[in-house]
Amino acid sequence: MRLGPDIARIASLIGDPARANMLSALMSGMALSASELAEEAGITRQTATSHLKQLEAAHLITIVKQGRHRYARLAHDEVGETLERLLALAYTLGHTRTRPGPKDPHLRHARICYDHLAGARGVCVMESCVQRGFLSLARDGELSLTPEGADFFTALGLNITQLSTQRRALCRSCLDWSERRFHLAGGLGAGLLTHMKDHAWLRQRRDSRILDVTPKGELEIGKHFPEQ
């Protein structure tokens, strides 16, 4: 391809095993240092720094400075959404190093997928909303918020008008790579996860993607998103 976007460059950057591991680690939503990413990728800090410079130059990550320390994070939502879809595609096609999904049962139960809830809990929330008519899921995976859903999430405390004005899609289905079913992504998925964390329904473990459901969360999630 001589004209148009250079997908080969992006693919080569993401396709390198070490860089792929580093980008996957950043899917936790946390900003990580070169040393932390080097450990994730199984490489030296010097090599990790070189990879980070390439990823930053391609605008796949951004570097945040805090005092003498430098931390990397995904540059924007489109990068996270692309990585989500690549992870789901890889697992769907069977391109796995181990069994599908994380081995840790806590990761399989509830975890962060870039900025929204994933795992068995995320799938249950999504399916509860679809079954009660708050979300409309087409056969091709296209997801939309219904008027009843807008009322429901507004009553829950989310600002649907504000979420609708963001650059990203309001709601999007994301194939969960441990459950092989859809969970809720997009602006609505991110807003819902923020709401759950702010109201102490979920608590993220330190330096981990794992989300623990609090006793309050068990009650509130069960009340608002009952399994059908």
Q: Please, what's the b/e burial string for 69-104 (b: 16 or more CB within 10 A of its CB; e: otherwise)? A: eebbbbbebebbbebbebbbeebeeeeeeeeebbee
Q: What are the residue ranges of CATH 1.10.10.10 in the chain?
A: 7-75
| Cβ contact 200:192 at 8 Å | no
| Cβ contact 34:40 at 8 Å | no
- pLDDT per position in the chain (228 positions), as tens? 566 677 888 999 999 999 998 998 888 777 889 998 998 888 999 999 999 999 999 999 999 888 788 999 888 878 887 887 787 777 667 666 554 444 578 888 999 988 899 999 999 999 999 999 999 988 777 899 999 999 999 999 999 999 998 888 899 888 887 787 889 999 999 999 999 999 999 999 987 889 999 999 999 999 999 987
Under DSSP, the state recorded for 67 is T
Report how far apart the first and last C-alpha atoms of the chain are (Å, whole number): 49
SS3 assignment, position 9: helix
Q: Please choose, from the candidates 73, 75, 81, the residue with its C-alpha nearest in 3D space to the C-alpha of residue 59.
A: 75
15 phi, psi to nearest 5 deg: -75, -20
Radius of gyration, CA atoms only, the chain? 18
CATH of 7-75, one of 1.10.10.10, 1.10.3720.10, 1.20.1560.10, 1.10.340.30: 1.10.10.10
**The pTM of the whole model exceeds 0.85:** no
Q: Please choose, from the candidates 46, 110, 39, 36, the residue with its C-alpha nearest in 3D space to the C-alpha of residue 73.
A: 36
